[in-house]
Every structure is written in structure tokens, then in C-alpha cells.
Structure 1
Amino acid sequence: MAIDWDRRTCARRGHVTYAPLEPGLRVRLHAETALGSAWRCLRCGDFALGEPHGSGPADEAPLVPRGAVLRDLFVLRFLAVERAVRGVFIVLAAVAVWKFSNSQDAVRRLFDEYLDVLRPVFRHFHYDLDHSPVVDTLRNTFGYRHQTLLLVAALLLAYALVELVEAVGLWYARRWAEYLTVVATAAFLPLEIYELTERVSWLKIATLVLNVLAVLYILLTKRLFGLRGGHRAFEAERRSASLLEVEESASVPPEAEEVPAPR
């Protein structure tokens, strides 16, 4: 069953009504009921009781997202939440690297003490911890210079900042954020593909697929870089989705909607 994005949003946020100054259009958007005046919602097209939220010329009516535009906004906000969560985790990783760089020797001593305790236990299960890939990786990490670890922490913070800026921009459907998301995400795709050649995991595959779909979706639906008519076609689509709805809704008088079709 298809989702009715317009009524779903109106149910959560309420209707958006507007009283145009043009007499003919105003009459068709307005109805008198036993409970009072009602105006047609610019989002879902239903009549809502009460005074209109705004008034003025029809070409100055608010651009209320509806239909496909409203669906696209939902997708952008999903991507915004994903970017925000990722950014927070990267910040935590940067803080962990920074703290590790300031207490590297203490962490190494603690690691060696635990390794001495665990070595006999693992030897009982015929596992040699001294030649474990995980242990070797940790030991190599201890060999990194303090300045190198600080640089890693700074790069992680910069990456996290980009993710958080993307999240804020996507949440408010800013066009610059859409460009930033496409460019930044596409730039890291080769690295994600390279990581899959080193070691395959479902998390890496899911991340790669999500990022590829996000790039393609934003590119095509938002008409970035001149695709599908570019910014001019995108603005025309937004405007038609709002003002055309007002005109189309007003073209049929409310009384005509209530007349049953002849049998």
C-alpha cells in the first residue's frame, strides 16, 4: 500500500491553509460549514476548519512540500540522522585516540600485564597470543609516535565535522548540503571498495551500498550538477507541486465533489 505522505504529515503537524486575494480562486478554496469557515489545505487538499494561516496573492502562497517533494524530504532527514550518528561515533573515536596518545606508555604496560595473565589460559586452548593478528595490530599501535596519533585524532575530528555539517544541512534540505554530501560521500567510495578487498564484512558491504544509493538518489532527485534540467528544473518542480495543487484543487468546486456519479 502506497504511503500518503501528505495526509501523514498533516496528521502530525497540522494543515497549512491560505486565502488568496483573487476572488474566483478564493471562493473555490473556501467553504462554509455548520461548524464555521473551512479552507483547503495546501498540502493534502482537505478542508480544515478555522481561519487561514495566511493570505495574499496566489503566486505568493507558501511553497509547502507535498507528494514526491515531501517523500524526498523524509529520505534526506533519514540520511541526516545517519550522518549525525556516524559523526558522533567518529568524535568519540577521535577523543579515544587523543587520550591514548597522552597515556600511551601506561596503556602499553597495562596491556602487557593483561597479556601475561591471559597467555597461559589461551595456551591451554592451543592458541598462541604472541602470534595473534589482533595482538600484533595492538602492538604496532603502541609503536606509533605521539605526533602521529595527534594527527590521526585531528583528521578524525575534521571528518566528524564534515559529517555533522552534512547532517544539519540535509535535515533542513539545504542545496549546498546536498552537493557536500554527494562530493564527500563519493570521495570515500574508493577507500570503502579497497577495504572490501582487504576484508569482507556485512557491515562494510551495507555501508558501501547505502552510500552509493545515497549519492545516486540525491544526484537524480535533486538534479545536481545540471542533471535532469538542473537547479531551474528542480525549482520549477517544487513550485508546481505547491501552486499547481492550489489551482487544481480550486478548479473543482466542493459541491461537485459531493455529487455522486450517474449509474
Structure 2
Amino acid sequence: MTIDWDRRTCARRGHATYAPDEAPLRERLRAETRLGEAWRCLRCGDFVLGDPHGSGPAEDAPLVPRGKVLRDLFILRFLAVERAVRGVFIVLVAAAVWKFSNSKDAVRRLFDENLKVVRPVFRHFHYDLDHSPVVGSIQKTFGYKHSTLVLVAALLLAYALIELVEAGGLWYAKRWAEYLTVVATAAFLPLEIYELTERISWLKIATLVLNVLAVVYIALAKRLFGLRGGRAAFEEERHSASLLEVETSAGVPA
């Protein structure tokens, strides 16, 4: 099934109409009906009853994303939401590490007391908690210095900040955010691959695949680093997809 991104967006956000000052172009975007004047939507191309949302020279008309450009914007916003959720989660983890660093001894005593309580239960099911990898990893963290835990919390907070900045920039389709996302995501790919060599999980695999696809897609679709013609070709593609640009070109004699 093919998704009509233009009409889908218009149904959710409303149409975008504009009355250009240039008479020939104005007439191609305007129609008279029994119910009154109608203007062609710059996004979906349908005629909409009522006054236009804006007017002025054609060169001052808003560049309304449509077609492939609109689909790309939807994908960028999906990635923005994913980055935002991840950023908030990492902030919570950083806060937990910071709190743990200031009350490590109390947490250790509570953990040891609870471990004594549940140890007989697990032993009944022939599971030795004293040799559990999970318990061992938790006990290992109690040996970390306060300064080490503070450093970990700070690094996590810095990583979360990068994710949240990416999310905001991608939501508004900022080109600098696309570069930041590609560079930052690619920089962490070796670490994600290394983690898979330590322990494989479906979550790690899914995260790695999503990040690889995000890097490849953004770099190619947005023509970053000079790929596929670079910024000039990207801007030309954006403008060529604009309905107003199409109508303007149609009025130029061959």
C-alpha cells in the first residue's frame, strides 16, 4: 500500500494555500466555484475553499514540504522521538548513578540484607546466587570509587545532552543536526559492536541495526559530506518538489 504523505499531513495539520502576486501563476492556483473562491494547496494540490493563508511575491511563498521531502521529514521526526526517549532514559540513569555514588554504603548494606533473605529461596530451586553473573556485576559496582562513579554520571549526562540536541535539531530538520547525528552515531558503532561480542541480545542487535540504517539513510538522503551532489543538489531537490516551483516552471515558455 502506497502512503499519500501529502494528504495524510494535510488531514492532520490542515492545508497550506498561498496567493502569489504574479497574475498568470495566481490564476493557475485559484478557482471559482459555486461556493466561492478556492485556492490550490501547496502540499497536496487539492483546491480548498476560502481565503488563502498567505499572499505576496512567489519567491516569498513558504517552502511547503511535499512528496519525498515530506516522507524524509517524517522519518527524521521518528528518529528525533527515538533520540529524545533515549536521552531522557540516559538522564535518569545518570541521576541514579549520581545518587548511588553518594549513598553507596547504605545501598550495599540494603543489598546484602536482601540477598541473605532471598538466598535460601533460590537455593531451593538449585540456583547459587553467590556465583550469579548479575549479582557479581552488582557487587563489583560497590567497589568503584566515588570519583569514578561521578565521572560515569557526568559522561552519561554529556551523552544524554548530545541525544537531546540531536532530537531537537532532527525534529526541525536542521542540517547541522543531521551532520551531528551521523557523526555521533557512527562514533558509537564500534562500541555497540564490541558489546555484542561480550553478550548478544535482541535489544543490542536492534539498536545497532537502527543506528546503522540511520547513518546510511541520513547521509545519503540528505546528501551530507558531498554525497550525491551535496548541499546544492539537496536544495535543488527541495525546491523542485515544491508545487509553487512546479507551477512557476510550467508558466515559463520553452
- Runs in 1 of length 4+ with deviation above 6 angstroms? 248-251
**What is the alpha-carbon distance in structure 2 between the residues aligned to residue 66 and residue 248 of structure 1?**
17
SS of the residue aligned with 2:177? Answer: helix
Q: Which residue of 2 aligns with 1:45?
A: 45
Decide whether the 8 Å contact of 1:30 with 1:40 is kept in 2.
Answer: yes
Partner amino acid, structure 2, of 1:247: T
**What is the alpha-carbon distance in structure 1 between the residues aligned to residue 246 and residue 236 of structure 2?**
13
**What is the alpha-carbon distance in structure 2 between the residues aligned to residue 102 and residue 126 of structure 1?**
36
Decide whether the 8 Å contact of 2:10 with 2:44 is kept in 1.
Answer: yes
Q: Which residue of 2 aligns with 1:124?
A: 124
SS of the residue aligned with 1:45? Answer: coil
Decide whether the 8 Å contact of 1:29 with 1:249 is kept in 2.
Answer: no
CA deviations on 1:79-126 (whole Å, 9 max, x unpaired) are 000000000100010011011111100111111111111222222222
SS of the residue aligned with 2:207? Answer: helix
Decide whether the 8 Å contact of 1:94 with 1:156 is kept in 2.
Answer: yes
Q: Which residue of 2 aligns with 1:17?
A: 17
Q: Which residue of 2 aligns with 1:217?
A: 217
Matches within 5 A, 1:108-257: 108-242=108-242, 243-247=244-248
Deviation at 1:250, TM superposition (A): 7.3
SS of the residue aligned with 1:31? Answer: strand
CA deviations on 1:18-44 (whole Å, 9 max, x unpaired) are 112222221221111111111111111
Mark the runs of 5 or more structure 2 residues left unpaired by the alignment: none
Matches within 5 A, 1:82-93: 82-93=82-93
Decide whether the 8 Å contact of 2:102 with 2:146 is kept in 1.
Answer: yes
**What is the alpha-carbon distance in structure 2 between the residues aligned to residue 11 and residue 119 of structure 1?**
59
Decide whether the 8 Å contact of 1:166 with 1:181 is kept in 2.
Answer: yes
- Tell which deviates more after alignment, 239-248 or 177-186: 239-248
Partner amino acid, structure 2, of 1:113: E
Q: 1:21 to 1:29 in 2, by over 3 A?
A: same
CA deviations on 1:172-193 (whole Å, 9 max, x unpaired) are 1000000000000000000000
Decide whether the 8 Å contact of 2:87 with 2:161 is kept in 1.
Answer: yes
Matches within 5 A, 1:99-114: 99-114=99-114
Partner amino acid, structure 1, of 2:31: A
Deviation at 1:57, TM superposition (A): 2.2
SS of the residue aligned with 1:120? Answer: helix
**What is the alpha-carbon distance in structure 2 between the residues aligned to residue 30 and residue 132 of structure 1?**
73
**What is the alpha-carbon distance in structure 1 between the residues aligned to residue 250 and residue 108 of structure 2?**
71
Decide whether the 8 Å contact of 1:28 with 1:250 is kept in 2.
Answer: no
- Tell which deviates more after alignment, 159-168 or 59-68: 59-68
Structure 1 vs Structure 2 CA RMSD: 1.4
Percent of paired sites with the same residue: 81
Matches within 5 A, 1:67-82: 67-82=67-82
Partner amino acid, structure 1, of 2:69: V
Mark the runs of 5 or more structure 1 residues left unpaired by the alignment: 252-263
- Tell which deviates more after alignment, 239-248 or 35-44: 239-248
TM-score (norm 1): 0.92
